[in-house]
């Protein structure tokens, strides 16, 4: 598997522009796929610098219905006329973030695109093919991000707490190994991994994505004891982690001190090549 980080909050060098968002380009044996599109068209600029032809992408997976992961959908549609686009039911609903002054900021996707014929609205589980699958409807309350408390959805003119039913996760199976890719892990990365096992998928060898340990709207990082406990829990698995975006640098540094070479930061412009071989 070859992964190129097109957009993330930080960059490996000044050659790449950054934004609060996430977009990953991934090549597998059978696919050229895009996971999320960042907050704007910026991912298209960085794709050129990383020698990625977005017109060749055959599959786009949107992790959830927030602009920093799907704000670039329209830009992608203008560059690519063939890719299937998978998003969870509810991803195009109205989503908001409560600000420190009590106001609500719109953080959803462009609703004018919701009827696009290339959109495939996912159920709880989708088997795309032998290599790619999606799962959602994650249950469990372990290590839930406190930043979720400031995130809402509009339901019949009533602002309700977001239940993140619009969040989905991608599993890549290659040479007998598994790679789990989560966008923001709003349902908690531990719960997501537990749910993966509960639906009959083996523990992932590699986990990629944000852990939502930093809330941008309130500029808060999870308490150190929370992060320490999470790191200890993740160390009980066999997985190697590449984290980014909403994990936040402060929380990442704490996780790194606990997990060592089991965790790495994934920044804009970074290329990760995994030589995964079967047992």
Q: What mean pLDDT comes out for the span 246-256? A: 98
pLDDT at 142 over 50: yes
Contact 31, 56 (CB under 8 A): no
The fraction of the chain above a pLDDT of 70, given in percent, is 98
* Alpha-helix runs per DSSP H in the chain: 42-49, 67-70, 73-79, 189-198, 224-234, 249-259
pLDDT at 275: 67
pLDDT at 22: 98
Q: What mean pLDDT comes out for the span 23-29? A: 97
Cβ atoms within 10 Å of 256's Cβ, excluding its own: 16
pLDDT at 175: 85
Burial of 35 (0-12, 13-18, 19+ CB in 10 A): buried
pLDDT at 38 over 80: yes
Residues in contact with 261: Cβ distance below 8 Å, sequence separation at least 6, in sequence order: none
pLDDT at 221 over 50: yes
Q: 3-class SS at 279?
A: coil
The fraction of the chain above a pLDDT of 90, given in percent, is 93
Cβ atoms within 10 Å of 267's Cβ, excluding its own: 17
| More reliable by pLDDT, 98 or 277 | 98
Q: Residue 198 falls within a domain, yes or no?
A: yes
| More reliable by pLDDT, 38 or 216 | 38
pLDDT at 279 over 80: no
Tokens 């930093």 correspond to: 214
DSSP state of 92: T
pLDDT tens-digit readout, 48-90: 999 999 999 999 999 999 999 999 999 999 999 999 999 998 9
Q: What mean pLDDT comes out for the span 13-39? A: 98
Looking at the structure of the chain, the number of domains it has is 1
Q: 3-class SS at 255?
A: helix
Domain that holds residue 163: 2-273
CATH number of the domain residue 29 falls in: 3.60.15.10
pLDDT at 222 over 80: yes
pLDDT tens-digit readout, 259-273: 999 999 999 999 999
DSSP state of 29: S
Name the band, by pLDDT with cuts 50, 70 and 90, for residue 278: very low
Q: Residue 278 falls within a domain, yes or no?
A: no
Q: Residue 137 falls within a domain, yes or no?
A: yes
Backbone angles phi, psi at 33, to 5 degrees: -130, 160
Contact 261, 4 (CB under 8 A): no
pLDDT at 217: 82
Name the average pLDDT for the chain.
Answer: 95
């Amino acid at each position: 598997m070859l992964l190129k980080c097109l957009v993330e909050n930080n960059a490996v060098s000044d050659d790449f522009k950054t934004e609060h968002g996430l977009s990953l380009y991934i090549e597998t044996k059978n696919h050229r796929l895009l996971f999320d599109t960042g907050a704007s068209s910026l991912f298209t600029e960085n794709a050129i610098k990383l020698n990625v032809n977005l017109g060749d992408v055959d599959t786009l997976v949107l992790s959830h219905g927030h602009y920093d992961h799907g704000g670039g959908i329209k830009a992608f549609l203008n560059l690519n006329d063939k890719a299937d686009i998978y998003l969870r039911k509810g991803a195009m609903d109205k989503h908001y973030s409560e600000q420190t002054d009590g106001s609500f900021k719109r953080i959803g996707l462009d609703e004018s695109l919701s009827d696009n014929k290339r959109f495939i609205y996912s159920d709880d589980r989708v088997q795309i093919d032998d290599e790619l699958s999606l799962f959602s409807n994650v249950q469990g309350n372990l290590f839930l991000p406190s930043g979720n408390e400031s995130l809402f959805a509009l339901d019949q003119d009533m602002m309700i707490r977001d239940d993140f039913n619009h969040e989905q996760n991608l599993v890549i199976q290659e040479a007998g190994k598994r790679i789990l890719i989560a966008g923001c892990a709003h349902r908690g990365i531990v719960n997501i991994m537990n749910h993966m096992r509960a639906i009959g998928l083996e523990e992932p060898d590699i986990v990629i994505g944000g852990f939502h340990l930093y809330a941008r709207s309130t500029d808060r990082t999870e308490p150190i004891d929370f992060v320490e406990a999470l790191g200890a829990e993740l160390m009980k698995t066999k997985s190697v982690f590449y984290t980014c975006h909403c994990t936040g640098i402060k929380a990442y540094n704490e996780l790194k001190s606990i997990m060592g070479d089991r965790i790495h930061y994934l920044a804009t412009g970074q290329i990760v090549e995994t030589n995964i071989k079967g047992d």
